[in-house]
Amino acid sequence: MSSALLMYLLVVYGRDTATAFKRIPRFALILSALFFALGTTCYVTSLTMVSTATVSIIGATSPLVAGLLSPWITGEKPGVLAWISAVLAVIGMAFIAQGGFETGHIAGLILSLAVPLTFALQTLMLRRYRDIDMMPSICLGGFLAFILATVFSQFSGAGGSVFAIDQHSFWLLMLMGPLQLTIPLIFYGMGARSVPAITLTLISMLDAVINPLWPWLFVNEVPEHSTLVGGSIILVAIVVCLFGNKVLSALAITNEAH
């Protein structure tokens, strides 16, 4: 992912790529990279300790975290509809992941709690410094995550064997890095220039809605009823957040006209 992102920066900035890194305030560059590295590491590690449902439900609280921290970090105060949308998103994710939530592994739960916190803080950093291209900090964070994985593997006793993967897995990861991570992150950074943090984190939850559609379309794996209900609630939450104020304004104008 970081290698592909670095290639993207080289294409965009050419010889000024180093300047793009220097353009970001050093404090913001380090913090943003650290949040990304820690968030990625905690997410992947937590999945090995607790169920995907647990990580998903806890991760769905990121809009709430972003909303709580926005006034102090970005100066943006989410409105009532934004808060309603954030709560609805958590409820929707709970429907999708119902039955799979577990509380047995304390370390896994702690790491899971770090996921929405770091993701929200990362988003808030992108939003606070929206006048600067923050992709260099994400690139740096990706390389830092790789270093963390290397260090942790040594302490785990696995040594270098943790990176020993078969050729099929290698090519899957080669595709996953640029397609699933680099490209979406570039668009996410662009979106942060004009979209509030709480809305950004809400929109990112669309993956929980769209993911079940692919096996449904291509392998005829019909989603469970709870998945459809939860996905619908998340969609409603996003629509309310994006268009709620416009609808209320239109209704107010109509009432004044009458």
What's the confidence (pLDDT) of residue 241? 87
Q: What is the pLDDT of residue 52?
A: 78
Query: Is 169 a member of any domain?
Result: no
pLDDT of the chain, 258 residues: tens digit per residue: 999 999 999 999 999 999 999 999 999 999 999 999 999 999 988 888 888 777 888 888 999 999 999 999 999 999 899 999 999 998 988 887 776 666 667 888 888 899 999 999 999 999 999 999 999 999 999 999 998 888 877 776 655 566 678 889 889 989 999 998 999 999 999 999 999 999 999 998 888 778 777 777 777 777 778 878 888 888 899 988 888 877 777 776 777 766
Q: How many domains does the chain have?
A: 1
pLDDT of the residue at 160: 54
Residue 166 lies in a domain: no
In a domain, 9, yes or no: yes
Q: Which pTM does this prediction carry? A: 0.86
In a domain, 167, yes or no: no
Query: Does residue 164 lie within any of the structural domains?
Result: no
What residues have CB less than 8 Å from 216, skipping those under 6 apart?
222, 223
- The DSSP result for 206-257, as a single string, is HHHHHTTHHHHHHS--PPPHHHHHHHHHHHHHHHHHHHHHHHHHHHHHHHHH
Give the position of tokens 């702690």. Answer: 110
Residues 47 and 63: their CA atoms lie apart, in Å, by: 21
pLDDT at res. 23:
95
**Two structure tokens written together for 6:** 């670095």
139 in a structural domain: yes
Which domain range does residue 229 map to? Answer: 2-159+176-257
Indicate whether 60 belongs to any domain: yes
pLDDT at 101: 64
User: Is residue 165 included in any domain, yes or no?
Assistant: no
